[in-house]
Homo-oligomer: A and B are copies of this chain.
Amino acid sequence: MTQNIETFIGCDSSYDEAELVLFGAPFDSTTSFRPGARFGPSAIRHESFGIETYSPYQDDDLTDYKVFDSGDIELCFGSAESALADISARTAEILSDGKLPLLIGGEHLVTLGIFREVQKKHPDVHIIHFDAHCDLRDDYLGAKLSHACVIRRCHDIIGDGRIHQFCIRSGEREEFRFAEKHTDMHKFTLDGLAETIAEIGDKPIYFTIDLDCLDPAYFCGTGTPEAGGISFPQMLEAIQTVCSGNIVGADINELAPMLDTSGASTAIACKTLRELILAILKNKR
C-alpha cells in the first residue's frame, strides 16, 4: 500500500530520470492588495486532475515525458530574503543535476529566487516577461523585495536590453518612464513577440508568466485583476512562440485560489502549465 502522493497530473517520473523539475513556492508575504497566491501551487497540483495529460493543441501527452514534481518548499512567512534564499537553494540543486527548473508561485517576487541561480549558470540569459504590471518600482513603501519590484531587481542583475515585457497595462508613471529607457516593453498586447524571440535566437531565455497577463474575463482568480489583457488562445500561441527559443528556466505565478470561486481560473492555470511543460520539452527533443 502506498502513501498518499499528489503531483501535477502526469508528472510521475523519478527525480533521477526527470528532464524537468516542478517545484512550488507558496509565498505571498509582500502582496500589497489581496493575498492568497501562497495557495496557488497546491491548488494547481490538486485541480490538475480535472484536466487530461493529453493536449489536443500540441497532439502530445505529458506521460511521454519525464517530469518530477518535488512539491512545495516550506517557506518562512514574513521574511522575503529568507524565502528567496530557500528558493535559490532548491533551484541550484536542480540546475546542478542538469535538469530544467519550473517554479510555481506564489506571488511574483518568487521569480527572483529562481532567476538568481539561472542567471549564475546562464549569464547571458534574457527574460521574457508576461504580466499586467510593470513590476519595475525601485521600492514599495520602503521594501526593495516586493512583488511590485521583482523585474526591477532582475534588471539590477542583468541590466538594459535583456528584459522583454509583454501585455503590461498597469503601473506608476515612473515605471513606464523607466521602461522606456531600460527595458523592451510591449504595452497591452503580445505584439512583437515573434520578432523578439527571433532576435534572441539561441541565447538562453528565462520565461516568467504572471498569470494576470490574462484578461480577468479568463482569469479572475488573482490578487490584482487588471481589465484588458490577453485571451487563452493568445496565451497558447505565445507559449509556442517563446518555447521555440532556448528555455533554461521558467515560472508561472499569481494564481490566488481563494478568489477563484468557480474553479475556472485554477483550471486555466493547470492547462497553461501543461501546455508550457509540453512546449518546452517537445522543443528540447
Contacts and interface: CB of A to CB of B under 8 A. Distances in A.
B259 A1 contact: no
B143 A79 contact: yes
A1 B31 CA distance: 27
B172 A52 contact: yes
A184 to B, nearest CB: 16
A65 to B, nearest CB: 14
Contacts of A3: 5, 7, 15, 68-71
A264 B36 CA distance: 15
Interface in A233-267: 233, 236, 258-265, 267
Contact of A217 (B31, B59, B217, B260): B217
A66 interface: no
Given A29-B29, A54-B173, A146-B77, A227 B216 contact: no
A111 interface: no
Contact of A54 (B6, B59, B143, B171): B171
A225 B2 contact: no
A162 to B, nearest CB: 22
Given A52-B172, A172-B54, A264-B225, A31 B77 contact: yes
Contacts of A72: 4
A15 B2 CA distance: 8
Interface stretch (A43-51, A113-121, A122-130, A195-203): A43-51
Nearest to A269: B227
B258 A56 contact: no
Contacts of A262: 216, 220-221, 225, 259-261, 265
B259 A232 contact: no
Contacts of A260: 262
A258 B6 contact: no
A155 B172 CA distance: 42
Q: Is the interface of A mostly helix, strand, loop or mixed?
A: loop
A57 B171 CA distance: 11
Nearest to A64: B173
A152 interface: no
Interface of A: 1-7, 15, 21, 28-36, 38, 42, 45-46, 49-54, 56-57, 59, 61, 68-72, 74-80, 82, 93, 109, 140-143, 145-146, 168-173, 176, 187-188, 215-218, 220-221, 224-228, 231-233, 236, 258-265, 267-268, 271-272
Given A56-B169, A218-B227, 11 more contacts: A1-B15, A4-B70, A6-B6, A29-B29, A31-B35, A42-B46, A54-B172, A76-B142, A77-B141, A77-B146, A225-B268
